[in-house]
């Protein structure tokens, strides 16, 4: 059934993409545009914005790829001085080094974490007078580890957006000029943009910035607001009952969209590595549609990696961590995301993690208590890879208790 699902959605999106490309080619006449040589692949271009140095007039430096970027960026000031938020204060304007006609006006601070901050910005054109549109700007901290994550996240967002987010032909747009500004999913019909729209990525004041589509609510926020005890209707559930989590119909509707995105990510060999309620963004149902007709999109690809590429060893949040990740059986595949999705579905319906624990050994204990013992082949592989001491400690305590 899983393979049939892969084949179904892969064929569906390939057909949509081919049809949209043919319609766009028939409508547009690129006479002035220079055609790229066949087979040429555009590198993930990033721009480093730096303060002017004595004897140099330019403040921007273009890099062809992430490796070159990491090699050439050396902050002129200590990292703790560069991590201040004064350059991204509310009301400030940030020019786009990649597209000099665009600038970002910081409107609000949406959140912060160990990686950095997320800001709500208004993306507008300086010269062409386009209507501003709201976007989310993720600003990471100034160190090499976060810079590596930013390079991969920007590249993954761009690849997924360009591969599977299908834009309408030009003749269906309101004006020809709007083709210059990237479209958001508000301009598309349902499921034509399964992934977040990618707009821009650059380094400003020695801090990596990624600009993507703005969605104002996470799946965790939705559960807290709409379920029993939430902020809506004086603490009563909007679903008409006293269940702690979402109805199964809503879980199935959101889960289908997340599974579609997982299928498409697997086609490109991308592993998310951090699927949880906080990393699923929810757009409210359109006017006239049932309240459960929401749109769900996976977000935060900072921990993502290509399948069979051991770029990260410690992945996933503990409650949603798969046995392979606990035992350190990397390189990981898309199977660890499927484990996290299953755990997330249960938490959506019950508001309680399926496997609650205090550490990794306790996590293994909870998993084996519910699902049975871990297969010997997996344990043997873990011992070979150097995780044998932890496994022996776990089973020694388990035998003593029993």
Residues 6+ apart with CB under 8 A from 396: none
CB of 305 within 8 A of CB of 271? Answer: yes
Pick the closest to residue 70 from 157, 134, 147 (CA basis): 147
Residues in a beta bridge with 211: 137, 200
Tell me the helices (H) and strands (E) count for the chain, helix number first: 11, 13
Q: What is the spatial distance between Cα 299 and Cα 63, in angstroms, rounded to a whole number?
A: 26
CB of 70 within 8 A of CB of 19? Answer: no
Residues 6+ apart with CB under 8 A from 111: 117, 118
Q: Report how far apart, in Å, the C-alpha atoms of 120 and of each of 32, 136, 296 are.
A: 36, 5, 19
Whether 138 has a binding-site annotation, put simply, is: yes
DSSP string, 268-293: TTEE----SGGGEEEEPPPTTS-TT-
Enumerate the known binding-site residues: 138
Please give the annotated binding residues for ATP, written as ranges: 138
């Amino acid at each position: 059934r899983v393979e049939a699902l892969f084949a179904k959605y892969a064929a569906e999106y390939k057909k949509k993409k081919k049809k949209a490309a043919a319609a766009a080619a028939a409508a547009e006449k690129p006479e002035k545009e220079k055609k790229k040589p066949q087979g040429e692949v555009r590198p993930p271009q990033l721009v480093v914005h730096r303060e002017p140095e004595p004897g140099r007039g330019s403040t921007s430096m273009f890099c062809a790829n992430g490796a070159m970027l990491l090699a050439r960026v050396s902050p002129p000031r200590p990292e703790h001085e560069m991590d201040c938020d004064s350059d991204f204060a509310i009301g400030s304007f940030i020019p786009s080094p990649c597209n000099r006609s665009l600038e970002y006006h910081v409107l609000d601070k949406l959140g912060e974490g160990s990686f950095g901050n997320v800001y709500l910005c208004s993306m507008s054109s300086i010269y062409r007078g386009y209507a501003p549109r709201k976007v989310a700007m993720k600003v990471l901290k100034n160190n090499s580890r976060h810079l590596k994550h930013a390079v991969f996240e920007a590249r993954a967002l761009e690849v997924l957006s360009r591969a599977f987010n299908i834009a309408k032909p030009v003749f269906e747009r309101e004006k020809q000029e709007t083709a210059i500004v990237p479209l958001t999913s508000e301009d598309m019909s349902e499921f034509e943009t399964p992934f977040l729209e990618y707009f821009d990525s650059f380094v400003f004041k020695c801090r990596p910035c990624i600009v993507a589509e703005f969605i104002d609510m996470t799946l965790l926020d939705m559960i807290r607001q709409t379920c029993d005890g939430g902020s809506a209707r004086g603490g009563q559930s909007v679903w008409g009952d006293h269940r702690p989590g979402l109805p199964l119909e809503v879980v199935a509707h959101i889960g289908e969209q997340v599974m579609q995105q997982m299928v498409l990510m697997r086609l490109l060999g991308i592993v998310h590595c951090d699927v949880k309620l906080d990393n699923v963004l929810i757009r409210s149902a359109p006017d006239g549609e049932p309240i459960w007709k929401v749109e769900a999109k996976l977000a935060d690809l900072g921990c993502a990696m290509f399948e069979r590429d051991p770029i990260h060893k410690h992945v996933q949040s503990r409650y949603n961590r798969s046995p392979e990740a606990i035992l350190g059986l990397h390189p990981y595949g898309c199977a660890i995301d499927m484990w996290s999705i299953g755990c997330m579905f249960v938490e959506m319906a019950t508001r309680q993690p399926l496997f609650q624990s205090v550490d990794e050994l306790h996590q293994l204990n909870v998993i084996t208590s519910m699902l049975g013992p871990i297969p010997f082949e997996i344990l043997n592989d873990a011992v070979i890879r150097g995780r044998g001491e932890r496994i022996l400690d776990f089973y020694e305590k388990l035998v003593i208790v029993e």
